[in-house]
Amino acid sequence: MLIITTTSIPGDYLFQLDVTDAGGVPVCPPSQVSVQVRSSARLVVELVWTTPSDEDETDEFLGAGTDVDLHLIRAGGTWDDTSGGSDCSFRAPHPDWGSPTETDDNPSLDRDDSDGGGPETITVLSPAITFGPGMEYYDSPYQVGVYFFDDWTFGEVYASLRVYLEGDPDPVAVWPSVLDDGGSHPDGRLFREAPAPEQ
């Protein structure tokens, strides 16, 4: 039997195989394999969150959990820009950035989680303006934003934003924050522009 699984989420995974007979009795010891998943994208922005009052963050239906949204805005772009396409988010998940003949410089919202926990992930295979490895080499930095769309009466969330570069499984930046419905800013955004990571 061949089992194939895919994920857009970098990290370490542990797979376990349990073999049982028709009665459910194990016929051999479990077998495990560890796998480290790396993204082929040179830029990955990931949003995860927990909601303390949500007893089951894995259930999936409208209102089953909090809805927090990830945004990636290109240099010179504007928040929630759907007509010009400068903001990659659930409202414009695959905008056309950079060269009109290239697609690798376009961002992609790979996962939109509307009912709790995330992750939400935006990837860019080949960011348009780079001069080397590391965050300091982006000539015109992207803006990263998080918007608390709806708490569905669950209350505050503990959100964490992670930035990965060049397929490295370790994030180059992590920004944690607590949000309540309406956000820590009057317009509900967590970050207006991502601050420089602590060295």
Could you tell me the residue ranges of all domains in the chain?
39-179
- Asked whether the beta carbons of 147 and 69 are under 8 A apart, the reply is yes
Confidence of residue 139 (pLDDT cuts 50, 70, 90): low
- Asked whether the beta carbons of 55 and 126 are under 8 A apart, the reply is no
Per-residue pLDDT at 21: 95
Indicate the Cα dihedral angle 145, 151, 155, 158, nearest 10°: -30
Residues 121, 44, 65: CA angle, nearest 5 degrees: 20
- Asked whether the beta carbons of 25 and 128 are under 8 A apart, the reply is no
Range 39-179 has CATH code 1.10.8:
no
- Asked whether the beta carbons of 87 and 81 are under 8 A apart, the reply is yes
Which range has highest mean pLDDT (29-33, 80-84, 165-169)?
A: 29-33
Write the CA distances from 84 to 15, 112, 127, 149, integer angstroms: 43, 21, 18, 21
Confidence of residue 72 (pLDDT cuts 50, 70, 90): very high
pTM for this entry: 0.75
Per-residue pLDDT at 79: 86
State the alpha helices, DSSP H only, in the chain: none
Write the CA distances from 32 to 13, 16, 18, integer angstroms: 10, 4, 9
Q: What is the DSSP string of 101-144?
A: T-STTSEEEEE--SSSS--EEEEESS-SS-SSSSGGG-SSPPEE
Q: Considering only CA atoms, which of 197, 72, 194, 190 is closest in space to residue 127?
A: 72
Confidence of residue 145 (pLDDT cuts 50, 70, 90): confident
